[in-house]
Amino acid sequence: MTPTITAFERSPDRGAGLARDMRVRWTLEELGQPYQVRLLSFAEMKQPAHLALHPFGQIPTFEEDGLALFESGAIILHLAERHPGLLPADSGARSRAIAWMFAALSTVEPPIVERSMAWLFEREQSWYAQRLTMLDERVRRRLGELSRHLGDADWLDGDFSAGDLLMTTVLLRLQSAGIVDEFANLAAYVARATARPAYQRAFAAQREVFLQAQAAAESAPAP
């Protein structure tokens, strides 16, 4: 049975590929697995039918053969364990690749999300400039550590893995801030990852959703 994932009917990033369904789409493309997408409005995400799939009322979810999962990290791990391509066969290398998945989500992403949240909810406040300096410093410190680890390697630990996939999507959230470009090897790393055909296919698919929603809105009769 083809799995179904959920995504925003209208992504707040206007098709920039920063919503978390992109991570799962990219994974499915890397693994060569077909999938279907069910689009949800913000109102639908908070209704009982969706909360039964995702207790925090977010996207993406994953459904296949009676199994329902939430949390993009868990969905990606579930898929990567069942189809070859995103986790090494060697047991130790596999655990290390999974460590990079957790590092992306628990160590690198939180200060980046905090920075976006500050922009969303505090940019009109008198303290915003002062906090932004502090948050940028925190993000820069993490990226410096990541850059030092990466060195001149192509990927974080051996071949491209689910850890690199997640780390790339996390770094892409900083795109507009320009901080990644301060670390030449990280900028090259993101460019290398997003040049992968699987990324390109996933990006085009999520962008198409945005373009169609926009076209539908434009062709709607004036109220």
Residues that bind a copy of itself (CB under 8 A): 51, 55-58, 66-67, 69-75, 77-78, 92, 95-96, 98-99, 101-103, 105-107, 109-110, 113-114, 121-122, 125-127, 130-131, 134, 142, 145-146, 148-149
Give 121 or 200: the residue with its C-beta nearer to a copy of itself. 121
E strand segments, 85-141? none
Q: CB 202 → a copy of itself: shortest distance, Å?
A: 20
Backbone angles phi, psi at 166, to 5 degrees: -65, -40
DSSP state at residue 221: P
Residue type, 156: L
Q: CB 219 → a copy of itself: shortest distance, Å?
A: 36
Q: CB 111 → a copy of itself: shortest distance, Å?
A: 9
Q: CB 186 → a copy of itself: shortest distance, Å?
A: 13
Q: CB 197 → a copy of itself: shortest distance, Å?
A: 27
Residue type, 118: A
Give 130 or 200: the residue with its C-beta nearer to a copy of itself. 130
Q: CB 130 → a copy of itself: shortest distance, Å?
A: 8
The burial class, CB within 10 Å (0-12 / 13-18 / 19+), for 88 is middle
Give 14 or 149: the residue with its C-beta nearer to a copy of itself. 149
Contacts of 12 (CB under 8 A, 6+ apart): 19
The Cα–Cα gap between 4 and 34 comes to 9
Give 117 or 215: the residue with its C-beta nearer to a copy of itself. 117
Q: CB 33 → a copy of itself: shortest distance, Å?
A: 15
Which helix (H) or strand (E) segment is 143 a member of?
Answer: helix 128-150
Q: Edge-to-edge, what's the strand order for the sheet holding 61-64?
A: 36-40, 4-8, 61-64, 67-70
Give 7 or 104: the residue with its C-beta nearer to a copy of itself. 104
Beta strands 4-8 and 36-40 are parallel
From the CB of residue 198, how many other CB atoms can be counted at a distance below 10 Å?
Answer: 20
Give 106 or 212: the residue with its C-beta nearer to a copy of itself. 106
Give 78 or 196: the residue with its C-beta nearer to a copy of itself. 78
Nearest to 173 by CA among 126, 124, 119, 131: 119
Give me the DSSP letters along 184-203. Answer: HHHHHHHHHHHTSHHHHHHH
